[in-house]
Amino acid sequence: MPHRLRYPFHDAVPAPGATLEVAPGVHWLKMPLPFALNHINLWLIEEAGGWSAVDAGYDSEPTRAAWQAVFDGPMAGRPLERVVATHYHPDHIGLADWLSSRFGAPFHASLGEFAHARAVWHDLPGFDVAALNAHFGRHGLPAAQLAQYAARGNSYHWGVKSLPATFNRILAGDTLALGGAQWQAIPGYGHSPEHMALWCAERGVLISGDMLLPKISTNVGAWGSDPDVDAVGQFLASLDRFLALPDDTLVLPSHGRPFVGIRPRVEALKAHHAERLEALLAAVIAPVTAFELLPALFGRMFDLYQTMFALAECIAHLNHLRQAGLLRREAGADGCWRFERT
Ligand SMILES: [Zn+2]
């Protein structure tokens, strides 16, 4: 069944350093990323005397240069009054401290995202590379790859040179006044600890962050600090919150183009995960590790960087099947979890 998404701005994309107004007072910025996923969308909301930013971009020279062009051009010399982060991932929060320090602008985020960012940045036990490697090792990632992760160190620092020291906490359901309108914070789980999307009924706009993307499915993972989490179940339950929004809502995603079609997109994502869960379960014939199941889940293997996300995603799906009582796991003599059907 086709997704039936509409892309009202299919011909127009803002160049780095430029903006495109996608709703009254809401401007789209597209910033570069040094990955296969090569861009992130940020949002500037026009205030009476300045601007609010939603998400900040990955800390890199090209992104700082693009921001400088935005300061000099579209922002017309008016300051940032606040910086809001949907979640703690580097492409969203990387330049939050730089922006908020430059303008003396308060930083807004949920406690889950703020605290998690700091725990990862400061290598706290459970959030560090050792914990990630212990987790991935238990799920069968070979020693050679674990050694490469250990040698690489804390990759969070690549895109986040510093973090705001203090924050203004956003609670689920809170209303933020941005650009003279009310925006409701909608929590989301499974992709990050306490993601906040922002919905403005008056302007018919949802800033969806990474929770609702038009083309790619959001990464849903089980990581070192929360290894047995049913992130898939959390993510699917979170999607239901978006179904309550009007069908004609313009969704502003962090990757890809603004679109209309919350309902078909949520249905497609649910169908995608249901199909992946079924394929994964079918592949469990003899006791098997999460790492050995990567080809069954994705149909291919990955490079070192992508393996991290793929394995976390595979473990999250296995955790969901355990939660549903369809799989159980046992530790083998080598200390690795092996999954079998119940
Ligand atoms: Zn993210």
CB atoms near residue 272 (< 10 Å)? 11
What band does 21 get if pLDDT is binned at 50, 70 and 90? very high
Residue 159 lies in a domain: yes
Q: What is the pLDDT of residue 53?
A: 98
Tell me the pairing of strands 205-209 and 195-200: antiparallel
Residue 192 Cα to ligand 1 midpoint, Å, equals 7
Q: What is the pLDDT of residue 1?
A: 46
Bridge partners (DSSP) listed for residue 84: 54, 108
Residue 267 Cα to ligand 1 midpoint, Å, equals 21
Residue 284 lies in a domain: no
Residue 132 Cα to ligand 1 midpoint, Å, equals 18
Count up the domains in the chain and report the number: 1
Torsion of CA 19, 30, 256, 183, to 10 degrees: -60
Residue 129 Cα to ligand 1 midpoint, Å, equals 19
Q: What percent of the chain shows pLDDT beyond 90?
A: 92
Residue 2, pLDDT > 70, answer no
Q: Is 140 left (phi over 0), alpha (psi -120 to 50) or beta?
A: left
Residue 170 lies in a domain: yes
Q: What is the pLDDT of residue 23?
A: 97
Residue 209 Cα to ligand 1 midpoint, Å, equals 7
Q: What is the pTM of this model?
A: 0.96
Q: At what angle do helices 231-243 and 304-323 cross, to 10 degrees?
A: 80
pLDDT digits (tens, 9 = 90+) for 224-245: 999 999 999 999 999 999 999 9
Residue 185 lies in a domain: yes
Residue 58 lies in a domain: yes
Residue 87 Cα to ligand 1 midpoint, Å, equals 7
Mean pLDDT over each residue of the chain, to the nearest integer: 96
Q: What percent of the chain shows pLDDT beyond 70?
A: 99
Residue 241 lies in a domain: yes
Residue 331 lies in a domain: no
What band does 34 get if pLDDT is binned at 50, 70 and 90? confident
CB atoms near residue 17 (< 10 Å)? 18
What CA–CA distance (Å, rounded) separates 156 from 10?
Answer: 33
Q: What is the pLDDT of residue 3?
A: 56
**205: CATH:** 3.60.15.10
